[in-house]
């Protein structure tokens, strides 16, 4: 799809289509949806940020919330190399002496009234964040220096940033920190919720294996270990594959479970493994 702004043709991105469901932790879902609400003609949506350890489901929550609103979803992956033009409009050479301007997923969401997930936003530098400053306050626009245009956000446009609380990230500049509110913390799920997450992601999974992995994760959570449901899904999947390779079934014994855990997380994870 192509739209024209101030005489410049912008080629839009395609929305992301994922098969994910949010399981449990209804309170954080409620908080995210509330942040996006507009409750008065003079009100504006907020720009929440989801904070938590890698793998706790921040992107899944954001995507599921957007789909509850029946909206197009665009995921923009941030990295330390993300430049302002990557966030906004990128020029692409098309034929001899001709440029094609390609809108980022973020700008596409702005124009189409969709929802953008700025994934792992605190991996970006301050220079990249600065290009989004007017979008995150009452102005709700961005300026593309490359294309020489100002792009205003559709009234239905919403933004959420996910952020990992680890050491491999930048500190947000204060003027951006104050624009990304509220902060919604996603913690480890309770046991029943974690087991449900494993069943949701591995509907073909052996119940005994999923229960074993859930108990393993819960012991790790209690010790403030950083293992997440994502790790558990990988352990369970690998254990079932090992079992199938060994005996033609998906029923893994303790030795195979230990192998799957070590191969996924390393020897140090064995401290959370039971003997039965």
* H-helix or E-strand spanning residue 212: helix 207-222
Helix (H, G, I), strand (E, B) or coil at 118: strand
* 12-71 pLDDT, tens digit each: 999 999 888 888 888 999 999 999 999 999 999 999 999 998 888 899 999 999 999 999
Count CB-CB contacts under 10 A for residue 168. Answer: 10
- pLDDT bin (cut points 50, 70, 90) of residue 173 is confident
d(CA 131, CA 134): 8
Helix (H, G, I), strand (E, B) or coil at 30: helix
d(CA 262, CA 254): 12
* 231-258 pLDDT, tens digit each: 999 999 999 999 999 888 888 899 999 9
* 80-123 pLDDT, tens digit each: 999 999 999 998 887 777 888 999 999 999 999 999 999 999 89
C-beta of residue 205 within 8 angstroms of C-beta of residue 71: no
Domain 2-185 grouped into CATH 3.40.50.410: no
Residue ranges of domains in the chain: 2-185, 191-270
d(CA 207, CA 196): 11
Task: Say what the pTM is.
Answer: 0.88
Residue 168: its pLDDT value, please? 55
């Amino acid at each position: 799809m192509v739209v024209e702004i101030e005489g410049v043709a912008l080629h839009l991105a395609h929305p992301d289509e994922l098969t994910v469901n949010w399981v449990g932790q209804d309170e954080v879902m409620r908080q995210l949806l509330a942040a996006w609400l507009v409750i008065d003609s003079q009100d504006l949506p907020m720009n929440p940020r989801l904070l938590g350890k890698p793998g706790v489901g921040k992107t899944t929550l954001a995507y599921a919330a957007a789909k509850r609103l029946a909206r197009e979803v665009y995921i923009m992956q941030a990295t330390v190399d993300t430049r302002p033009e990557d966030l906004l409009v990128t020029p692409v050479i098309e034929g001899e002496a001709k440029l094609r301007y390609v809108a980022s997923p973020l700008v596409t969401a702005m124009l189409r009234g969709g929802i953008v997930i700025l994934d792992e936003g605190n991996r970006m530098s301050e220079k990249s964040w600065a290009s989004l400053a007017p979008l995150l306050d009452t102005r709700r626009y961005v300026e593309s220096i490359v294309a020489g245009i100002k792009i205003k956000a559709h009234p239905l446009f919403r933004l959420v940033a996910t952020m990992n609380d680890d050491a491999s990230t930048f500190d947000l500049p204060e003027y951006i920190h104050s624009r990304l509110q509220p902060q919604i913390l996603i913690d480890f799920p309770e046991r029943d919720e974690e087991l449900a997450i494993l069943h949701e992601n591995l509907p073909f999974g052996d119940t005994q294996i999923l229960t074993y992995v859930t108990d393993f994760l819960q012991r790790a959570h209690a010790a403030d270990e950083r293992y997440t449901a994502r790790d558990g899904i990988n352990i369970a999947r690998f254990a079932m594959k090992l079992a199938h390779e060994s005996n033609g079934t998906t029923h893994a014994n303790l030795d195979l479970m230990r192998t799957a855990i070590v191969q996924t997380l390393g020897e140090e994870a064995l401290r959370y493994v039971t003997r039965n």
